[in-house]
Amino acid sequence: MPQRVLLVNDDAFELITLAEAMRLRGINVVGEAHTPAAAANLFKTLLPEVVVIDAQFDDHRGISLARSMRQTIASLGLVITSACPDLRLIGLREDDIPEGTQIVLKRSLSDLNALCDAIPDSIHALQRQEERQWVNKYASRHEKSFLATVNQLTDVQAETLRLVAMGMSNGEIGRLRYVSEKSVEQIVARIACHLGITPDRSHNLRVLMTNEYNKWIGAPRH
């Protein structure tokens, strides 16, 4: 018997499209929620076996909601979808993700195989008490190469990149993190080097870094 699956995503179009596509694949989608209230009510009423939730649901509160659901149903399988290959880039901590959770990069959903496989895998992984796992076996060679690069960023570098993309100056970042502006400047230079971004007079380094950041968190590029 297919697992009872609850989908949680605040992008209404993506939610409906994904739900219909999954049903066509034989996935037993019993509910769809696009608001926190709807998610809470459907979870309580339907008692799903697996919840598929977007990491950026409710202004990046998807992981917190997933944790609270797991606390209610200890055997709950969790699948988190994310447009970003490294949750640190959107200010989230992977250490907060419950064990057994399968994290599926949205770029891997072109044929839904990654997501469909992750649903039963989330239950099996929990039963085996495995750690969270990124599902990237359907990613392209280029995507896997970038994933390897981003994952090598230190926590400080990942957070600094996020703050740069938010438009903060080196001075502002330094005051926020209680370090000197010079230290921030050095960290920014290391991040650029790590991502293969070469500054020149015709391109602003911070703009190039922000463009790269936006590309990989799934934000539209202008």
Q: Are residues 164 and 54 in the same domain?
A: no
Torsion angles phi and psi, residue 128, rounded to 5 = -90, 0
Print the domain residue range for 169: 153-216
User: Which of 141, 175, 193 is where one domain is finished?
Assistant: 141
Contacts (Cβ under 8 Å, ≥6 apart) of 199: 192, 205, 208
Burial of 208 (0-12, 13-18, 19+ CB in 10 A): middle
Looking at residue 221, its pLDDT comes to 37
Q: Are residues 198 and 89 in the same domain?
A: no
Q: Are residues 60 and 27 in the same domain?
A: yes
User: Which of 93, 117, 141 is where one domain is finished?
Assistant: 141
Q: Are residues 164 and 108 in the same domain?
A: no
Q: Are residues 170 and 207 in the same domain?
A: yes
- 146 within some domain: no
* Interatomic CA distance for residues 43 and 22, integer angstroms: 19
- 222 within some domain: no
Looking at residue 178, its pLDDT comes to 92
Q: Are residues 88 and 190 in the same domain?
A: no
Residue 157: other Cβ atoms inside 10 A: 18
- Contact assessment for residue 130 and residue 103, using Cβ atoms and an 8 Å cutoff: no
Read off the pLDDT of residues 102-122 as tens digits, 9 standing for 90 and up.
999 887 666 688 899 999 999
Q: Are residues 14 and 105 in the same domain?
A: yes
- 221 within some domain: no
Q: Are residues 122 and 177 in the same domain?
A: no
- 26 within some domain: yes
* Interatomic CA distance for residues 83 and 68, integer angstroms: 22
pTM of the model: 0.79
Return contacts of 142-147, CB within 8 angstroms, 24+ apart: 143/85, 143/105, 143/107, 146/85, 146/216, 147/85, 147/86, 147/105
Domain count along the chain: 2
> What is the CATH classification number for the domain harbouring 197?
1.10.10.10
Burial of 116 (0-12, 13-18, 19+ CB in 10 A): middle
Residue 81: other Cβ atoms inside 10 A: 27
Q: Are residues 122 and 205 in the same domain?
A: no
Q: Which residues of the chain have pLDDT under 70?
A: 108-111, 136-149, 199, 218-222
Q: Are residues 81 and 190 in the same domain?
A: no
Task: Give which of 219, 214, 88, 28 is closest to 103, Cα–Cα.
Answer: 88
Q: Are residues 137 and 164 in the same domain?
A: no
Q: Are residues 94 and 191 in the same domain?
A: no
